[in-house]
């Protein structure tokens, strides 16, 4: 198996967890293991999730989570066996593969050896050279404080500002019983802004935000969304404030008993 010239998720699992073609071939062989098994595959996932949130003008919560594991599927005719391992190590993978195989079928004869092939990397759908999860927490906290300052300065009726920045870096790979190993890297980032405005009419909430499979710098890039050219995050703040203030002056929806017209039919 050739591991060079690979930029997708399959190379990540091979290098990060010390896996190799021989070990993975044994795992797939264990999943097949019996002549009755028609198909088997392994799904690898490694995801880093980070969130930073602000309310009452203070950055109150920062979370960073790591989720990882492998799911194994064995298919025998119309029966499917599933198993999983939280640790990406060969002994745990082989145990999960054996469990999935036993659930799916029973038999007596081992399958032949499996040759692992690493597919050449395809087109990069999410070209993010520096994922947002690698950006310093201080930079994200500073952005949220600037959001709070801008929102309160836009309108005196703004009473509360809640903002959060959430990002994820997910890497996945699939190894099938035909020996092909493919992978993908999926960055994700989103900024959320919620504004509470209050006056003699009452209190209203306005929200805005956005995100994509982008890096942190996408949120500070200059754009023109009707307020002049400015950083994208500033547009989100202006929209949230506009919606909250607009709702303060809105007429209440009519209520009570009203006529209803129904067309013929059931």
CB atoms within 10 A of CB 147: 24
pLDDT digits (tens, 9 = 90+) for 162-201: 999 999 999 999 999 888 898 999 999 999 999 999 998 8
Q: Give the pLDDT confidence score for residue 266 in this predicted structure.
A: 66
Contact 51, 158 (CB under 8 A): no
Q: Give the pLDDT confidence score for residue 71 in this predicted structure.
A: 93
- Three-state DSSP at 212 gives strand
Q: Give the pLDDT confidence score for residue 233 in this predicted structure.
A: 97
**For residues 187 and 166, what is the distance between their CA atoms, to the nearest angstrom?**
11
Q: Give the pLDDT confidence score for residue 125 in this predicted structure.
A: 77
Q: Give the pLDDT confidence score for residue 226 in this predicted structure.
A: 86
Q: Are strands 117-118 and 229-231 parallel, antiparallel or unpaired?
A: unpaired
**For residues 184 and 45, what is the distance between their CA atoms, to the nearest angstrom?**
10
Contact 36, 105 (CB under 8 A): yes
**For residues 147 and 153, what is the distance between their CA atoms, to the nearest angstrom?**
10
pLDDT digits (tens, 9 = 90+) for 121-163: 667 778 888 999 999 999 999 999 999 999 999 999 999 999 9
pLDDT digits (tens, 9 = 90+) for 1-48: 333 333 568 889 988 998 888 889 889 888 887 557 888 899 999 999
Q: Give the pLDDT confidence score for residue 116 in this predicted structure.
A: 67
Q: Let me know the angle formed at the C-alpha of 192 by 188 and 198, rounded to the nearest 5 degrees.
A: 175
Q: What is the mean pLDDT of residues 236-243?
A: 97
Contact 212, 223 (CB under 8 A): no
State which H helix or E strand residue 28 sits in.
helix 21-32
Q: Give the pLDDT confidence score for residue 263 in this predicted structure.
A: 86
Diameter over CA atoms, the chain: 80
Contact 21, 1 (CB under 8 A): yes
């Amino acid at each position: 198996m050739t591991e060079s010239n690979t930029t997708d998720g399959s190379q990540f699992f091979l290098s990060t967890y010390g896996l190799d073609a021989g070990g993975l071939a044994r795992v797939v062989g264990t999943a097949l293991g019996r002549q009755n098994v028609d198909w088997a595959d392994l799904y690898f996932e490694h995801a880093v999730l980070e969130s930073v949130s602000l309310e009452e003008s203070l950055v109150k919560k920062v979370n960073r989570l790591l989720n990882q594991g492998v799911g194994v599927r064995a298919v025998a005719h119309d029966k499917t066996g599933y198993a999983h391992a939280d640790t990406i190590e060969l002994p745990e993978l082989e145990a999960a593969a054996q469990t999935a195989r036993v659930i799916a079928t029973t038999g007596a004869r081992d399958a032949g050896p499996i040759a692992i092939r690493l597919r050449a990397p395809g087109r990069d759908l999410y070209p993010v050279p520096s994922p947002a999860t690698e950006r310093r927490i201080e930079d994200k906290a500073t952005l949220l404080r600037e959001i709070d300052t801008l929102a309160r300065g836009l309108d005196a009726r703004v009473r509360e500002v809640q903002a959060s920045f959430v990002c994820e870096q997910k890497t996945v790979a699939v190894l099938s019983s035909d020996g092909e190993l493919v992978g993908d890297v999926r960055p994700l980032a989103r900024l959320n802004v919620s504004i509470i405005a209050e006056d003699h009419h009452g209190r209203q909430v306005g929200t805005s935000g956005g995100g994509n499979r982008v890096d942190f710098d996408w949120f500070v890039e200059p754009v023109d969304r009707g307020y002049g050219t400015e950083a994208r995050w500033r547009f989100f703040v202006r929209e949230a404030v506009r919606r909250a203030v607009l709702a303060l002056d809105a007429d209440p929806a009519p209520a009570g008993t009203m006529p209803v017209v129904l067309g013929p039919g059931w």
